[in-house]
Structures are given as structure tokens and as C-alpha cells.
Structure 1
Amino acid sequence: MPLGVRIFAVYFLFVGLAGWFVQSTVMDEIRPGVRQSTEETLVDTANLLAEILREDVSTGSLAQSHLPALLEAYGRRQPQANIWGLTKNQVNHRIYVTDARGTVLLDSSGRALGQDYSRWNDVYLTLRGDYGARSTREDPDNPESSVMYVAAPILDGEQIIGVVSVAKPNRTLQPYIERSQRRLSWLGAGLITLGLLVGALLSWWLSRALGKLTHYAQAVSEGHRAEPPRLPSGELGQLAMAVDHMRTELEGKAYVERYVHTLTHELKSPLAAIRGAAELLGGESLDGEMPAEQRRRFVSNIQQESARLQQLSERLLHLAQVEQRQGLEERVAVSLAALVEELVSAQQARITAGKLRVERSLDPTLQLCGERFLLRQALANLLDNALDFTPPGGLIRFSAERHGSRVEIGLFNEGAAIPEYALERLTERFYSLPRPDGGRKSTGLGLNFVQEVAALHGGELAVGNVDGGVLVRLSLPGA
């Protein structure tokens, strides 16, 4: 399972359980919370009525007072109140008064007048001097039919002379409870969804950052050129910098060791030739004077091998600079036709000496996008190879076509076909084929350098045989 999925799964489990626990707890607390608030209001109402009724109860004139008519009128009222979006069309309080024995003296509903309520908890506890309250179902089989009763004592001095109870059906509170539960459900679901979305984004961001680091490490371990990932500052950014620094240190050490070995191997042949020629020339005085023709041949060998050493060191230096780079220093528009013309002019002496024909089928508006110095060096290496393998009087032809955002450069040269066994090895470092003019080999670094430049620009190099010669294709980004 991917790391991002695992992180999100753990986050989902945590947020889901926490959200469910909090929402379930709050939902369970809504009903008792509303009822507690209602009970507190009933307590205030009962105590207010106890003070209002005290004189009439103490004198025994409650039935003759105006209170029964008031309670009847109260029961008929229609408030038409809009309470937080819910309409209240009728009053729901039931009020009854008992004497000190628990006999009902007054009932706003009219159904309990004269009955003995002394055994109901609200009256019983209040007459004992305790807080009297009860909750009783109107229908024993319907839990939603419960009614809250809260009583207050009617006092004459310190003596309890009666009880007033105020009742409110719980069903009248249910719309407010359900509304609060619905709102809380929507709000809780929204918060959980938002939390999961944030968790998903966080998991995706973290997984993406770690994925970039992983791909970078894999590319480096496989020897591919790769730029370090761009990550925000912080621990991940520091980790990316540390990995890149480690790569640089390790590659630098391995790079130096590899080049010391390869350079040592490649220097053996020209140094041996120079040393042999120098020893023969130096021994000339002991064996007699060497013929002038032979002396010129040995001197020429020394000059050729010295030039080969110089070319080898220069190309190794250029190749090392390219291989160690992870990106371009600049990206500018470079005119392909002007660049080719510049290279052909620089090689005009060799072209004239070999009586070669150079054709240029290039659109003057075509432009490459990249680092001009590297592009020039790459094309110079390709032209140098073409000049080496084109026979006297042969043809060299530059061409180019644009394909979308890329420019495909073609360099054709007449000559012998490349052997099949060598086609796949042409871009290997230090691999070279004998030149037609004497069988000498080059440094074997030219095409390797071109391939590195192409890869640095995000392009490709391909070499193959065609009718009448060899065609090199170099694909590079266009401007």
C-alpha cells in the first residue's frame, strides 16, 4: 500500500472516530440539555405563581378569585411566536394548585379538580419540604408522551399551606431538539468532510514530496542525470538538499576514480609511441646517423601522438564538465543556420583539402533553445566525425525539420556503412572506429559528448546507416 494511502487511512480512522465520538456525545446531550433548561424555567414560573397564589390559598378564596378565569383565558391564547424559525401557535403549560393535604383546588385543564394528588412526587416531595418534580407519561406505552412537572410550596410564614405545580409536555420541546440535532449533524458531517479533505491533501502533498525524493534517488542510483526535486523549505527541503549533497560527494569521488583509470589506460598508447620514437632518435649517435626520411617519420609520430594527447585531454575536460552538470546554465534562442555556417567556415581548410561538397538545407528561421556553447561543441563534434569518414570528393549534407516543439537535425555523409557490431557502441566512452585515411582512431569521446549534451537539453542522438552513407539525427528543443 502506498505511503500516502496509509497516511490517509490512519488520518481517516482518527478523524472519523473522533468526529463520531464528539458528534455522538453532543447529540446525546442535546435532549437532556434542552429539558434541563426547560425545567429551570418551570422552577421560576412555579415559584412566581406560589407568591401570586399565597393570599388566595391562605384565605380559602381561590375558587372565588379571578384566577380560574385567567387560567382559562391563558389556555386559549395563540402566541403565533416565531422562535428561531419554528412557529408556536398555542400555550402548553398546565397549572394546578393543591392544599396542604394534596387535594387539587385549581386545575387549568379542569380534569383533576378535587382529586387527591398527594401521592404524586411533585406534590408529595414539596409538602415534605423537598424539591418536588416528576416526569410522567400520559400514555404508558408511548415514551414520547412524557410530561415534566415542577412544584413550588405556597407558604404562610414558615408553614406550607399548599402546592402549585407547573407542567410542560416534552413533545413540545421535540421540534427544537430535532432542529438542533439536524444542524449539528450537517455541521459535524461538514467538519468531518473538511477534515478528511485536508487530510487527503496533506497525504497527497507528503506522498508527492517523498515520491520526488524517491524517484531522484532511483535516477541517481541508476546513473541517470536528474535535477534535485524542488521542495518547500523545512525538513523535506533540507532532506532534498542533503540527498543532493551526498550524491555530489559520492559521484565526485567515483567520477575521479573512474577517470583516473580510463585516462591512465588511454595515455599508455600515445606515450609509448612518443617514448619509442624518442629513444630511436636519441640512439642515433650510437648507431650512426639516421636517414632523414626515417627521422622525419619519427618526428611526425611524436607530433601526431602529442596532438592526440592534447585532443584527448581537452575532450576529457569538456566531457567531464558536461557529465557533472545536472542542468543548463542558460536557455537562449540559437539560430541553427548561422551556427552551422560558423562551423563549416572553421573547417573550410579540411573541406577544401578533401575536395568535399557541403550542402546546407536549413530554414534560416529555425532556432534551437539551449546553451549556445554546448550546442556548438556538439555540432562541431558531429561535423568533425563526418569529415573523418567522408572520402575525397564526397558529400556532407546538413538538414533540419521542425516537429512540434522540437527540431530534428540531420547530418549525412557519404562513405562506408558502419559495421553492425559497432552501431550500439558508438556512444561509449573511448570507443572508436579506424579512420579510412590510415586506420588511426580518435579519442572515442566525440559522440559520447554529443549524447551527454543532447540529454542535458532533453534531446536524443541516433546514428544509423542509410543508402550511400551514414545519417546522424540529433533531436533538440526548438525556440
Structure 2
Amino acid sequence: MPLGIRIFLVYFVFVGLSGWFVLSTVMDEVRPGVRQTTEETLVDTANLLAELLRDDLRSGRLDQAHWQERFQAYGQRQPAAQIWGMTKSEVSHRIYVTDAQGKVLVDSSGEAVGQDYSRWNDVYLTLRGQYGARSTREVPDDPETSVMYVAAPIKDQGKIIGVISVSKPSRTLQPYIERSQMRLAWFGAGLIFLGLLAGGLLSWWLSASLRRLTDYAQAVSAGERSPLPALQGGELKQLAEALEHMRSELEGKAYVERYVHTLTHELKSPLAAIRGAAELLEGDMAPAQRQRFVGNIQTESARLQQLIERLLNLALVEQRQGLDERVPLPLRALVDEQLHAQAARTLSLQVSNQVPAEVQVLGERFLLQQALANLLDNALDFTPAGGQVRFSVEPQEGVVTLVVFNQCAPIPDYALSRLTERFYSLPRPVSGRKSTGLGLNFVQEVASLHGGAITIGNVAGGVEVRLSLPLVR
């Protein structure tokens, strides 16, 4: 299982369980909280009414009919109040007053006048100087029909002369409780979703960053060119830079070792020729023979110089992981520059530049100039006098393919797949000598840096080299 998915699953379980626990706890506390607030309001209401009724009850002249009418009128009021988006269309308090013996004097419902309520907890406890409250179900088996009663004493000079009780059914609180629970549920679910979304994005980002680092490491281990991934964040960025530094160190050591081996191998032949000619020149010989050996030394010296220069150019390209610049370059002008530089060698050939002037490629000028110089030099080496060398293009989607045709004998099948190998070369038709074998390898490296490719094949009448490069639209 990928690391990102494992991190997300752990995060999902943690956030899910934590969110569910907190949300369920808060939801469970909504009902008790509403009931506590309601009870506190009932206490205030009962004590207010106790003060209003004290003088009448103390004088013994409580006008039961008057108060009964007032309380019943109160019970019939229709407030039409808008409370947090809910309409309150009736009052839900029941109020009754008892004397010092617990006998009901006034009842807003008109049901209990004259009854003995001295055994009900709200009246019983209040008459004894305690906090009187009770909760009674209207329907014994239905907890939703519970009614909360809160009583307050009516006192005269510290003596309890009566009790007033105020009640409120739980069913009137239920809509507010359900509304609060619903809002909490949506709010909690939204927070959990946002938390999981943030966790998912974090896991995806971390997984994607690690995957990019893994791809980079695999590409480097496979010997491919791969730019260092641009990562944000301290530790990941440091890890990427550490991998790049390690790659540079390892590749540098391996490259130097390989470079020294190949260089010493290729230098043996010309050095041996120079040393042999020099030893022969120490003895007496005819002037013509001496001149021939001097010419050999000059030829092999030039070969050594060319080999070293091309190896240096190739090393410069092979060690690079990307281009220093990507600018639009006119392809026809680049080809013309190389044809002018080789004008002396093209006098006996039919050379044509058929690249349209408007075609532009995206790349680094110096490297493309060197690559085109190697392609032209290779074509001129194998084209006989009077033969054709032609440059043309084949635009495609997003790329342009430069086609270099030269009229010559076909390349042997066994050599076609090896022409871009380092130090692999075919004998030149005129001199029979081989080149350094680094030119086409250099072109391949330049093409790879530009995101292109090079292919070589036989066609009717000669050979075609196809170099694909990014096209500027």
C-alpha cells in the first residue's frame, strides 16, 4: 500500500473518530443544556410571580376569580414570535398557586382548583423551605410528554404562606433542540469533511513529492537525464538537494573513471604511430621517406587534437542535466552558418538548404550549432564528388524534424544500430581512415538534452539523418 494512502487512512481514522466523539458529546449535551436554561428561566418567573401575589395572599383576600381569569387569559395568548427562524404561536407555561397547606387556589389551566397538591415535590419541598422542582410525564410511558415544574415560596415576614408553581412541557423545547442538533450535525460534518479533505490533499502532496523523488532516483540509476524536481517544504527540498548532490558525486567519480579509460584507449594508437615515426626519423633515410614520416606525425597529432577537443565537448554535454537556455532559433540560419564555414569542402558537391525561413526551433544556440556542424561534417566525409547534400524539414505536432540527406553508398546493416555509439566509426570512402567516432554520439546527446531524438537510415540514393527538435509555434 502506498505511503500516502497509509498516511491518509491513519489520518481518516483519527479525524473521523475524534470528530464523531466530539460531535456526539456535544449533541448529547444539547438537550440537558436547553432544559437547564429553561429551568433557570422558570425559577426567575416563579419568584417574580411570588412577589406579585404576596400582598394579596398575605391579607387573606386573594381574589381567586380575578387571578384565575388573568392566568387563563395568559394561557390563551398567541405571541406569534419569531425565535431563531421558528414561530411561537402559543404560551406554554402552566401556573398554579397553593396555600400554606398545599391546596390549589388558582390554576391557569382551570383543572386543579381546590385539589390537594401538598404531596407533589414542587409544593412539598417548597413548603419545607427547600428548592421545589419536579418532572412529571403526562403520558407515563412516553418520555417526550415530560413536564418540568418549578416552584417558589410566597413569604410574609419570612413565613411561607403559599407556593406558586410554573411549568413548561418538554415538547415545546423539542423543536429548538432538534434545530440545534441539526445545525451542529451539519457544522460538525462540514468540519470533518474539511479536515479529511485537508488530510487527503496533504497525503496526495506528500505522496506526489515522494513519487517524484523516486522517479528521479530511478531515472538517475538508469543513466537517464532527469532534472531535479522542484519541491516545496524544508525537509523534502533538502532531501531532493541531497539526492542531487549524491548523484553528482557518484556520477562524477564514475564518469572520470570511464573517461580516463576511454581516453587512454583511444590515445594509444596515434601515440604509438607518432612514437614509431619519431624513432625511425632518428636514423638515416631518404628525404622522401623522411617527409612521409613527418607527415604521419602531423596527421596523428592533428588526430589527437581533434580527439581531445571532441571528447571535451562530449564531456561537457554528457554531464549536463538540462539546457542553459531555451530560446527561439531560426533553423535555416543555423544551417547556413555551417554551410558557410565548410564552403571550401562543398565546392565540388551539390548542396541545398531547403529549410523554410520561418521555421524556428526552441533550444540552446551553441549546442545546436555544434550538432549541425557534426552532421554536416559527417555528410561531407561520405559524399563523393558531384554528390548531393540536402537539408530539409518535416514539421509535425509540436516538433520539427530536420532531415539531412547525403548521396552515398548505403550503410551496412550491422553498423546502422551502432553509429551513435561512442568511438564507433566507419572508414571514409576516400582515405579509408576512421574518425574519432564521437560526432554522432555528440549529436545524440544534444538531441536528448532538447527532448528530441536522432535516427539514421538508408534511403533511395543515399543516407538520411533525422534530427527532431521542439518547434516554436
TM-score class normalised by the smaller sequence: over 0.9
Do structure 1's residue 197 and structure 2's residue 197 form an aligned pair? yes
Correspondent of 2:326 among 310, 322, 331: 331
Corresponding letter in the other structure for 1:469? G
Which residue of structure 2 aligns with residue 47 of structure 1?
A: 47
Residue 243 of structure 1 and its aligned partner are, at CA, apart by: 1.7
Do structure 1's residue 443 and structure 2's residue 441 form an aligned pair? no
Corresponding letter in the other structure for 2:291? R
Question: Aligned partners of 1:217 and 1:197: how far apart in 2?
Answer: 30
Question: Aligned partners of 2:13 and 2:462: how far apart in 1?
Answer: 68
Corresponding letter in the other structure for 2:220? V
Bigger mean CA deviation after superposition, 342-351 or 464-473: 342-351
Corresponding letter in the other structure for 1:113? V
Q: Which string of whole-angstrom CA distances, capped at 9 and with x for unpartnered residues, describes residues 241-275 of structure 1? A: 22212211221121111101111111111111111
Which residue of structure 2 aligns with residue 167 of structure 1?
A: 167
Correspondent of 1:430 among 415, 423, 435: 423
Question: Aligned partners of 1:54 and 1:367: how far apart in 2?
Answer: 103
Do structure 1's residue 393 and structure 2's residue 386 form an aligned pair? yes
1:464 is paired with a residue whose SS is strand
| Correspondence list, 1:178-193, <5 A | 178-193=178-193
2:346 is paired with a residue whose SS is helix
1:350 is paired with a residue whose SS is coil
Do structure 1's residue 358 and structure 2's residue 366 form an aligned pair? no
Which residue of structure 2 aligns with residue 266 of structure 1?
A: 266
CA contact (8 A) 1:63 1:105 kept: no
Correspondent of 2:368 among 354, 371, 375: 375
CA contact (8 A) 2:64 2:106 kept: no
Corresponding letter in the other structure for 1:96? Y
CA contact (8 A) 1:406 1:477 kept: yes
CA contact (8 A) 1:46 1:152 kept: yes
Which residue of structure 1 aligns with residue 26 of structure 2?
A: 26
| Correspondence list, 1:2-13, <5 A | 2-13=2-13
Question: Aligned partners of 1:146 and 1:160: how far apart in 2?
Answer: 28
Question: Aligned partners of 1:450 and 1:439: how far apart in 2?
Answer: 23
Q: TM-score, normalised by structure 1?
A: 0.95
CA contact (8 A) 2:72 2:110 kept: no
CA contact (8 A) 1:56 1:65 kept: no
Question: Aligned partners of 1:80 and 1:339: how far apart in 2?
Answer: 88
Question: Aligned partners of 1:396 and 1:205: how far apart in 2?
Answer: 53
Bigger mean CA deviation after superposition, 144-153 or 2-11: 2-11
Do structure 1's residue 120 and structure 2's residue 120 form an aligned pair? yes
Residue 43 of structure 1 and its aligned partner are, at CA, apart by: 0.6
Residue 233 of structure 1 and its aligned partner are, at CA, apart by: 4.8
Question: Aligned partners of 2:97 and 2:6: how far apart in 1?
Answer: 67
Question: Aligned partners of 1:348 and 1:296: how far apart in 2?
Answer: 30
Gaps of at least 5 residues in structure 2 are none
Residue 238 of structure 1 and its aligned partner are, at CA, apart by: 2.1
Residue 41 of structure 1 and its aligned partner are, at CA, apart by: 0.4
Corresponding letter in the other structure for 1:364? A
Do structure 1's residue 349 and structure 2's residue 344 form an aligned pair? yes
Question: Aligned partners of 1:397 and 1:50: how far apart in 2?
Answer: 114
Question: Aligned partners of 2:151 and 2:303: how far apart in 1?
Answer: 116
Which residue of structure 2 aligns with residue 129 of structure 1?
A: 129
Which residue of structure 2 aligns with residue 229 of structure 1?
A: 229
CA contact (8 A) 2:349 2:385 kept: yes
Question: Aligned partners of 1:162 and 1:330: how far apart in 2?
Answer: 98
What is the aligned residue count? 472
1:215 is paired with a residue whose SS is helix
Q: Which string of whole-angstrom CA distances, capped at 9 and with x for unpartnered residues, describes residues 185-225 of structure 1? A: 22112222222222222222222222221111111111111
Residue 63 of structure 1 and its aligned partner are, at CA, apart by: 4.4
Question: Aligned partners of 1:240 and 1:215: how far apart in 2?
Answer: 12
Q: Which string of whole-angstrom CA distances, capped at 9 and with x for unpartnered residues, describes residues 338-391 of structure 1? A: 222221222222233xx2221222212222221111111001101111111122
CA contact (8 A) 2:95 2:108 kept: yes
1:348 is paired with a residue whose SS is coil
Which residue of structure 1 aligns with residue 458 of structure 2?
A: 465
Which residue of structure 2 aligns with residue 214 of structure 1?
A: 214
Do structure 1's residue 96 and structure 2's residue 96 form an aligned pair? yes
Question: Aligned partners of 1:229 and 1:463: how far apart in 2?
Answer: 33
Residue 7 of structure 1 and its aligned partner are, at CA, apart by: 2.2
Which residue of structure 2 aligns with residue 294 of structure 1?
A: 289
Residue 327 of structure 1 and its aligned partner are, at CA, apart by: 1.5
Do structure 1's residue 413 and structure 2's residue 406 form an aligned pair? yes
Do structure 1's residue 106 and structure 2's residue 87 form an aligned pair? no
Residue 180 of structure 1 and its aligned partner are, at CA, apart by: 0.9
Question: Aligned partners of 2:55 and 2:233: how far apart in 1?
Answer: 81
Question: Aligned partners of 1:47 and 1:191: how far apart in 2?
Answer: 43
Corresponding letter in the other structure for 1:425? R
Bigger mean CA deviation after superposition, 453-462 or 187-196: 187-196
Do structure 1's residue 310 and structure 2's residue 305 form an aligned pair? yes
Which residue of structure 2 aligns with residue 82 of structure 1?
A: 82
Corresponding letter in the other structure for 2:289? Q
Question: Aligned partners of 1:335 and 1:38: how far apart in 2?
Answer: 85
CA contact (8 A) 1:138 1:145 kept: yes
Residue 53 of structure 1 and its aligned partner are, at CA, apart by: 2.0
Corresponding letter in the other structure for 1:131? Y
State percent identity of aligned pairs: 72
Question: Aligned partners of 1:126 and 1:64: how far apart in 2?
Answer: 21
Q: Which string of whole-angstrom CA distances, capped at 9 and with x for unpartnered residues, describes residues 129-177 of structure 1? A: 2111111100112111100000111222232222211110010111111
Q: Which string of whole-angstrom CA distances, capped at 9 and with x for unpartnered residues, describes residues 265-301 of structure 1? A: 111111111111111111x1xxxx3123322221121
1:231 is paired with a residue whose SS is coil
Question: Aligned partners of 1:338 and 1:158: how far apart in 2?
Answer: 114
Do structure 1's residue 244 and structure 2's residue 260 form an aligned pair? no
Question: Aligned partners of 1:222 and 1:200: how far apart in 2?
Answer: 32
Question: Aligned partners of 1:469 and 1:91: how far apart in 2?
Answer: 105
Residue 5 of structure 1 and its aligned partner are, at CA, apart by: 2.1
Question: Aligned partners of 2:325 and 2:43: how far apart in 1?
Answer: 84
